[in-house]
């Protein structure tokens, strides 16, 4: 099977961290380019491009920005406002809504547009479930608008992942108190009703990579949505 070259943005977040680790470990991925604000640990086949100001690069489609994305087969987008901002949005929409508008819409649509102009045929993005144009919660409306904008670009292959609740268990290197908090949240999320059951950030990352593999293997094209159960089913399939 032909090897692919991947580019990842949002690589230092929950899903993105695992995604980069798995891409580096995959024999089918020959090159991983990460765009981030800070340096990532060095690794074989990893190229780290530092963009201190995403607005400068993603909202202005300059030739040098487009050049970064050329000669890649897939763009994985794991951009999203931090967890604490989502909690803040529930209590102070005026303060936190602009952050979501910038990261979850402007940057996500911006990077998709730049990638499309660079000739990348496959855009794979982490979104959210239960989206609606008329949702009362700003997050729901912003993510819905993002999906519509990305779909309008015309990617040959578009994969949209809809985790209901993202579960982020603590990693070994986390500080003690943060470990307790994250593991408690993970425990609660694991016993939620099936329709609302959380999926781990690592599982989403694995599903994104497996989805790309099965697409390339079967040569399927077009737009596909993946809810949490679809992701779990992908993970169980043998490569």
Residues near 167 by beta carbon (within 8 Å), at least 6 away in sequence: 185, 186, 189, 190, 198, 199, 200, 201
State the Cα–Cα distance between residues 183 and 189, nearest whole angstrom: 10
What's the whole-number mean pLDDT along residues 181-191?
51
Residue 117 — pLDDT band, cuts 50, 70, 90?
Answer: very high
Q: How many domains would you assign to the chain?
A: 1
pLDDT of residue 178: 47
State the Cα–Cα distance between residues 234 and 81, nearest whole angstrom: 26
State the Cα–Cα distance between residues 36 and 52, nearest whole angstrom: 8
Mean pLDDT over each residue of the chain, to the nearest integer = 86
Kindly report the number of other CB atoms within 10 A of residue 63's CB atom: 7
Residues near 126 by beta carbon (within 8 Å), at least 6 away in sequence: 10, 15, 77, 78, 79, 80, 161, 163, 204, 208
pLDDT of residue 187: 54
pLDDT tens column, 62-104: 788 899 999 999 999 999 887 777 777 778 888 888 898 999 9
CATH code assigned at 42:
3.40.50.720
Q: Please, are residues 159 and 125 in contact by the beta-carbon 8 Å criterion?
A: yes
pLDDT tens column, 202-214: 999 999 999 999 9
Pairs from 172-178 (Cβ < 8 Å, separation ≥ 24): none
Residue 201 has pLDDT above 70, yes or no: yes
The domain of 11 spans: 4-236
Residue 130 has pLDDT above 80, yes or no: yes
């Amino acid at each position: 099977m032909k090897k692919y070259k991947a580019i990842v943005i949002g690589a230092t977040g929950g899903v993105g961290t695992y995604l980069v680790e798995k891409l580096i470990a995959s024999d089918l991925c020959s090159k991983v380019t990460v765009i981030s604000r800070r340096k990532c640990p060095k690794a074989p086949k990893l190229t780290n491009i530092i963009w201190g100001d995403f607005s400068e690069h993603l909202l202005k489609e300059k030739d040098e920005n487009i050049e970064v994305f050329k000669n890649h087969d897939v763009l994985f987008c794991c951009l999203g406002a931090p967890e604490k901002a989502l909690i803040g949005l529930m209590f102070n929409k005026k303060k936190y809504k602009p952050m979501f508008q910038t990261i979850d819409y402007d940057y996500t649509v911006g990077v998709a547009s730049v990638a499309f102009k660079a000739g990348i045929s496959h855009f794979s993005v982490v979104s959210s479930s239960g989206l609606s144009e008329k949702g009362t919660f700003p997050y729901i409306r912003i993510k819905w608008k993002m999906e519509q904008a990305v779909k309008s670009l015309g990617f040959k292959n578009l994969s949209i992942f809809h985790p209901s609740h993202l579960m982020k268990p603590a990693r070994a290197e986390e500080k003690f108190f943060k470990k307790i908090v994250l593991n408690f949240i993970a425990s609660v999320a694991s016993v939620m009703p099936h329709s609302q059951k959380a999926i781990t950030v690592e599982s989403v990352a694995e599903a994104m990579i497996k989805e790309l593999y099965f697409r390339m293997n079967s040569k399927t094209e077009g737009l596909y949505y993946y809810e949490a159960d679809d992701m779990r089913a992908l993970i169980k399939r043998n490569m």
